[in-house]
């Protein structure tokens, strides 16, 4: 039995973990600051002060498509990259079939000045459960002190919110003539382990228990 468990972990380390090792999953919590819904798409279910929970995923192996030295654009067309948020009984998430998810990082954009930006946008999203279209989901962080970024490379850790003076989560939808939307600010962000890592750690714990209790 013991040899069998060790064999499984060895196989995971050789095949499962390397295949997933470049994924970064950031779990976020946000608070809503303003809601615009004159046409009732949200049915009064989303209000100022409500809490948004969710996560976004990206792949560190993605290449920068921006030729400028002070900025980088990382474009994602395939799942599992994208964003998923939940609030008021609604789910706001990237469409995996037509994924268009971008992370833009700007490091000291203006010559002689400071402008550091961390921006993620999901352009193609699934409709809400009531059929309402979701046009865009974005999160923008901006810093003018020079503390927030050291390069335009994709980070392996979550943004440190205290380092950014501007913090805006923006979700909109509906139609051009009859839109809806709400704004918020992210209150927490942290990296969470991907499923294969959790499985690996769980099997490791099983071995330890087997050793302690023969």
Per-residue pLDDT tens digits for 92-125: 999 999 999 999 999 876 545 557 899 999 999 9
List C-alpha distances in Å: 150 to 28, 109, 141, 143.
22, 12, 15, 12
Residue 210 lies in a domain: no
Residue 166 lies in a domain: yes
Which among 199, 171, 198 is positioned nearest to 185, based on CA atoms?
A: 171
Cα–Cα dist 207/122, whole Å: 41
The percentage of residues in the chain with a pLDDT greater than 90, rounded to a whole number, is: 68
Residue 147 lies in a domain: yes
Which tokens belong to 34? 């303003």
H or E stretch covering 45: none
H or E stretch covering 205: helix 195-212
How much is the average pLDDT of 8-15? 43
| pLDDT reported for residue 203 | 44
Residue 134 pLDDT exceeds 60:
yes
Are the beta carbons of 41 and 31 closer than 8 angstroms?
Answer: no
Band of the pLDDT at 3, cuts 50, 70, 90? Answer: low
130-133 long-range Cβ contacts below 8 angstroms, 24+ apart: 130/41, 130/43, 132/41, 132/173, 132/174, 132/180, 133/173, 133/174, 133/175
How confident is the model over 186-203, as pLDDT tens digits?
A: 999 999 986 544 444 444
How confident is the model over 44-74, as pLDDT tens digits?
A: 999 999 999 999 999 999 999 998 777 899 9
Expressed as residue numbers, the domain containing 69 is: 24-192
How confident is the model over 13-50, as pLDDT tens digits?
A: 434 444 445 999 999 999 999 999 999 999 999 999 99
Q: Which sign, positive or negative, has the C-alpha torsion 45, 140, 61, 148?
A: negative
Residue 36 lies in a domain: yes
| Number of independent structural domains in the chain | 1
Residue 124 lies in a domain: yes
Residue 47 lies in a domain: yes
Are the beta carbons of 190 and 159 closer than 8 angstroms?
Answer: no
Residue 199 lies in a domain: no
Residue 140 pLDDT exceeds 70:
yes
Cα–Cα dist 135/41, whole Å: 13
Residue 204 lies in a domain: no
User: If you ran DSSP here, which 8-state letter would residue 33 be given?
Assistant: E
Sheet holding 51-59, edge to edge: 71-76, 101-106, 116-122, 134-143, 166-174, 179-192, 23-36, 51-59, 82-87, 90-93
């Amino acid at each position: 039995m013991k040899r069998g468990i060790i064999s499984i972990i060895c196989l995971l380390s050789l095949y499962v973990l390397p295949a997933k090792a470049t994924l970064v999953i950031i779990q976020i919590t946000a608070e809503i600051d303003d809601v615009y819904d004159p046409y009732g798409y949200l049915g009064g279910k989303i209000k100022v002060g409500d809490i948004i929970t969710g996560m976004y995923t990206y792949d560190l192996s993605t290449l920068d498509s921006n030729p400028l030295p002070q900025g980088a654009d990382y474009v994602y067309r395939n799942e599992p990259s994208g964003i998923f948020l939940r609030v008021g009984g609604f789910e706001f998430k990237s469409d995996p079939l037509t994924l268009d998810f971008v992370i833009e990082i700007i490091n000291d954009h203006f010559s002689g000045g400071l402008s550091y930006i961390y921006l993620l946008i999901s352009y193609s999203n699934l409709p809400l459960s009531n059929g309402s279209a979701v046009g865009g989901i974005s999160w923008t962080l901006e810093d003018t002190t020079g503390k927030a970024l050291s390069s335009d490379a994709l980070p392996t850790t979550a943004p440190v919110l205290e380092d950014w003076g501007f913090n805006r989560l923006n979700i909109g939808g509906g139609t051009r003539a009859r839109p809806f939307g709400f704004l918020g600010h992210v209150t927490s962000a942290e990296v969470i382990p991907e499923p294969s890592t959790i499985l690996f750690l769980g099997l490791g714990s099983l071995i330890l228990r087997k050793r302690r209790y023969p």
